[in-house]
Structure 1
Amino acid sequence: MTGTKPTAMTGTKSRAVTGTKPGAASLGVRRLANRLLAIFVALVVWYLFASGPGSSSGFPTPLESFRSAVGLAETGAYWSNIATSVETALLGLALAVLVGVPVGLLIGANEHVRRSTQLLLDFGRTVPAIALLPLLLLLFGATRDLGLVLILVSAVWPVVIQTSYAVGEISPQLRRVARAYHLTRWHRLRHLVAPSMFPFVFVGLRIAATISLLMAISSEFLGGSDGLGYALLQAMQINDTERAFVYSFTAAVLGLLLNLFFVLLQRRVLWWHPSVRKGGAA
């Protein structure tokens, strides 16, 4: 009897494993089919609108936009504008991180400071950065510096808030353990603060990255500096709706790719965290 048990268990496990694979595969196929169906429906709605109510304003059909996109992709100016906007967004995001993380650490490390600055943080994050554009134009003109400052004053708030919240939420028990073992400030930061802070900071980074790209293109559009925003403005000024639509769609795709990049980076860095590991906390 004992000799038959492993055989029965092995058979049960093999049936369970083989039974889960088709289910997982069918789930992936269904998800892919649903996404393709959603894209198809969106294209149909787009075509119906462009052929109907939007035809009077020159709204392009999907096929016309695709042809325009192919034509733009063959030019060096198109890729140069993309590179300029992405570079500005990433530089501004880097500045926001360099400023936001240390400030968030200082605020979150002290309960009194955190409560005292709560009103200031709430006020700062609600002020629209675009409202500062006329003043920034006077100070910096239509240059990349305008975009960088605009990104900084917009994207720094999610980084500061998420960092300060993460530091403030560190367990008091962990703090007492660190004091009991006489850990140095560097070891506390590395082994206690950083692991607790990273999951929150990555959320702020993803929000700040989207804001950075939005502000970079907005500053180019309103300020007149080189990039996708200025190319979009030029296309609108000559009433080239097909090219304007392609530039707008390009900006949307860049935002999607930027968010995907930080999602993958988060999985790479936080592989140990329950929210990232396969199977969750189990």
Structure 2
Amino acid sequence: MTVLIRLAFLALSALALGQPARAHEFWIEPQGWQVPAGTDIVADIRVGQDFKGPEYSYFPPNFARFELVMGETSTPVPGRLGDRPAMTMPAPAPGLAIIVHETTDKRLTYTEWETFVGFVTHKAFADALARHAARGLPETGFSETYRRYAKALVAVGGGAGADRRVGLDTEIVALANPYTDPLPGGLPVQVFLGDTPRAGAQLEVFDRAPDGTLTLTRQTLDAEGRADVPVRAGHTYLLDAVVLRDTGTDDPGQGAVWHSMWASLTFHLPD
């Protein structure tokens, strides 16, 4: 790829990442969920709907963090500008690997009221429209900033280990290991905003079968921000939980009036 073609491609990728349609999810999708020790972990960064979407390049201006966490050690994911897959990194040791990706802030402007209504309805922000009206905000021409916080679990070798909080502003934590633990009641997870469990929030569960069939279910987190996610052998999962906050700015001419924060977790259940 020539330099000019590479730069043009990266510019288009940045634009696409910066202007997604509402309710598009963002996730990490490893090309192998279980990899032998001593081999590479290869993963794509994806944006899309229904657990389908194009892969995006390794592009540092688009992310604040991109790391591999194993145990107490966090290692930045290396890469060259424009690399696809976005991650190709030797697995440092056997165990449960946690891939972490946090984007930088992006901004969008709503030109149609129905788009905002659809977003807040889909993500179960029951009071958002009333809050919008109470703040005296217009139905078009207002902006939202957003940031994505993605994690993926990969088994290296036997995959022993545990997911943990890695310091994201909002994150989903698996409370059991999908590669090693028996899960007769499903995979228990907990969702946080800072140090606070997200009691009563919506968790979306995208379940992709081996034949590609997708099932979407929604759960309401309990008082401790927990839920048990039903899982089946051979299936791949994307969990998604979104926060919507006022920015403190009620004048659309002075900046974004809303800020959303998107947490995702992907994993696979072995056959």
Q: Which has the higher strand share?
A: 2
Q: Which has the higher helix share?
A: 1
- TM-score tier after normalising by the smaller chain length: under 0.3
Q: Which structure has the greater CA radius of gyration? A: 1
Q: Which structure is higher in RCO with an 8 Å CA cutoff and minimum separation 6?
A: 1
**TM-score normalised per structure 2:** 0.21
